[in-house]
Amino acid sequence: MLLTAYISLTNGAFDITLRDIMRTLLRIQPQKDFDLVIFEFRLPRIVIAAIVGMGLGLAGAAVQSLTRNNLADPGILGINAGAGVAMVIFLFFYQGKVKGTSWTAILAMPLVGLIGGLGAAMLIYAFSWKNGRLESQRLLLTGIAVASGLSAVTLFITLKMNAKDFEMAAVWASGSIYNANWKYIVSMLPWLIVLTPILVTRTRILDVFQLKEDTVRSLGVSVEKQKALLMLSSIGIVSACVSVSGGIGFIGLMSPHIARRLVGISHRRMMPVCAIVGALLVMISDFIAKTVFTPAELPVGVVIAIVGVPYFVWLLYRNKQRH
């Protein structure tokens, strides 16, 4: 992560040496050009990439445990799509003013995303609930269906926007952090500070959820209560991330798989590694997105999807071979 951050800080349209970075950070004869490039453009982007990757990685691990399905992630379950459609509606009525200096708009973004994510989750829960229980397979299938429907709604709303707002919404929906700034970081941090400990302190519960539901109940675990708390926390984290980065997919799918191969299935060891892997994936993808096709720039979500889609297909193939 440190190496990736160093490469991202020093490379770009305006190259900066390590010495210049250290002098700027330590405020030794600071120059306006370096201050602008480091503090206004590159550093906020690196920080947001790391935070978003951590949040999506942790939420993905929790969702896979709760559904007992290693192919599940917040995007497939429709949480990203729910938060995304709420954000596009917000952008539609706010008419692109989020780019400005309005603290009200920026601080409202995670809340709007949360409302959308919760709305999608409630819809998915309603269709997945059967005989007083939440069925994992129905949850996954319903999530895919709801995500497809909400993506269509998002596209319909963006087509109703004027050209300038449509461009902003389209780039954002594909997953992009090119417009990163410190205000976005301030808007999402409280959500992650409050909700991340809920996931991290319940690693034993997440381990127990790998067993059959009747077995979990026999151990004295309040299954529905814990599921609801962990799922709501995951939705909150994903919604906060989506509100500033758009629809970045596959991080919640890939991070837990990579973490399991590195440290095993125990969530106490796996969760921190998930966060680190997720952060690293988004940081590297963002660096590739902004440098490979210079002066044009790809949305980071597109770069991640280029890797994520083959990875998902490979996981499907491996699971088929096992069964």
What's the pTM value of the predicted model, to 2 decimals? 0.88
Please report how the helices 43-67 and 267-291 are oriented relative to each other, as an axis angle in degrees rounded to 10.
140
Architecture, CATH, for domain 2-322: Orthogonal Bundle (1.10)
User: Which residues make Cβ contacts (< 8 Å) with residue 264, sequence separation at least 6?
Assistant: 270
Please report how the helices 136-159 and 103-128 are oriented relative to each other, as an axis angle in degrees rounded to 10.
140
pLDDT tens for the 323 residues of the chain, in order: 999 999 999 887 778 888 888 888 888 888 888 888 888 888 999 999 999 999 999 999 998 888 887 877 887 778 888 888 888 888 787 755 555 446 777 777 788 888 888 888 888 878 877 776 667 677 778 888 888 898 889 888 888 887 777 777 777 777 888 778 888 888 888 889 999 999 999 999 888 888 777 787 787 777 778 888 898 899 889 988 888 888 888 899 899 999 998 999 899 999 999 999 999 999 999 999 888 877 778 888 888 988 888 887 887 777 666 65
Where do the structural domains in the chain lie, given as residue ranges?
Answer: 2-322
